[in-house]
Amino acid sequence: MTAPLLPSAGPSDPGEARPGLTLATADEPETLRADAARNRALLLDAALGLLARCGAADLTMESVAAAAGVGKGTVFRRFKDRTGLLIALLDHREAMLQAAFLSGPPPLGPDASAAQRLHAFGPALIHHERDHHELILASRTDPLRVYHTPAQRLRHSHVALLLRQAGAEGEPDLLAHTLLGSIDTPLVHHLTCERGMAGERLEQGWHDLLSRYGVAR
C-alpha cells in the first residue's frame, strides 16, 4: 500500500538531515494482491455500513461476515481480531489526515514554516480524533498497541521533525510524545464529553505548550 515509515530520529542524531516522511497506513502495510485488495475493500465497506447503523460497540467479526456475505473465517484471516478490524477502518480516515499534513496546503502542509505547521497540526488532529472518537476508543483494547501502529509512529516522527526544524527547546522525541499525549483521544473525549470543556481550550493548550518549548506562532 504505502512505503514503510521512517523511524523517528533518536538523541544520537539531533542534527542529521532527514528525508521527507511518507504516508503510513494504520494497519496492513504490505502490498496486497488484486483479489485480496478487493476482498478487503468489500469487508471494510460492510463494516462501515454496520458502523453507521449500529455504532462501534455492536460491530463484530460475525456481523461483518454476514453483511459481506462471506464466512467468519475470511474476516479473521484478513484482520486477525476485532481490534485489527477497527484499526483498518481508521486507516480510511487516517489517509486523509496524513495527506493534509504531508503534502497539503499551508499552514498544515510543507509550504509553511515548521512553527506554523506545528501550531496547525494540533487543532487538525483534535478535530480528526473528535470526529472519530467512538471508533478510536473501541480500538484501544491494548493501551500500548497504539504506540506501535504505523499511523501513530508517523505522527510522532512528523511532530519530532518539525520541533527539531523549529529549534524547540528540549529533546524533540520526548517533546513530541508530550504534545501528542496532551490531545490523545481518551483525554479529549473525557475533557470535552464528560467535563464539557470547549474544544477551543484544548487547541489553546496545544499552542501554549509549543510556546513554552520556544515555538512561537
d(CA 176, CA 162): 9
pLDDT (average), residues 8-28: 45
For residue 122, which of 200, 193, 214, 197 has the smallest C-alpha distance?
Answer: 200
d(CA 4, CA 23): 8
On the question of pLDDT at 137 being above 60, the answer is yes
> Do both 152 and 119 map to the same domain?
yes
> Do both 119 and 149 map to the same domain?
yes
Question: What per-residue confidence (pLDDT) applies to 207?
Answer: 98
Q: How far apart are the first and last CA of the chain?
A: 35
d(CA 94, CA 87): 10
**Global confidence as pTM:** 0.70
Question: What per-residue confidence (pLDDT) applies to 209?
Answer: 96
> Do both 148 and 58 map to the same domain?
no
Q: Is residue 1 part of a domain?
A: no
The domain of 204 spans: 91-212
- Tell me which of 80, 107, 142 is where a domain ends: 80
Band the pLDDT of 20: cuts 50, 70, 90.
low
- Tell me which of 11, 46, 80 is where a domain ends: 80
> Do both 38 and 141 map to the same domain?
no
> Do both 163 and 192 map to the same domain?
yes
Q: Which CATH number does the domain housing residue 73 bear?
A: 1.10.10
d(CA 81, CA 151): 19
DSSP state, 5? P
Q: Is residue 53 part of a domain?
A: yes
Question: What per-residue confidence (pLDDT) applies to 12?
Answer: 34
Q: What is the pLDDT of residues 40-66, one digit of tens each?
A: 889 988 988 888 788 777 789 999 999
Question: What per-residue confidence (pLDDT) applies to 212?
Answer: 96
d(CA 153, CA 75): 26
CB 150 within 8 A of CB 92: no
Q: Is residue 163 part of a domain?
A: yes
Q: What is the pLDDT of residues 28-46, one digit of tens each?
A: 445 667 777 888 889 988 9
> Do both 192 and 121 map to the same domain?
yes
Q: What is the pLDDT of residues 81-116, one digit of tens each?
A: 888 888 888 887 788 899 999 999 999 999 999 999
CB 88 within 8 A of CB 44: yes
Most distant CA atoms of the chain, gap in Å: 55
Q: Is residue 5 part of a domain?
A: no
68-100 burial: b if 16+ Cβ within 10 Å, else e = bebeeebbeebbeebbbbbbbbbbbbbbebbeb
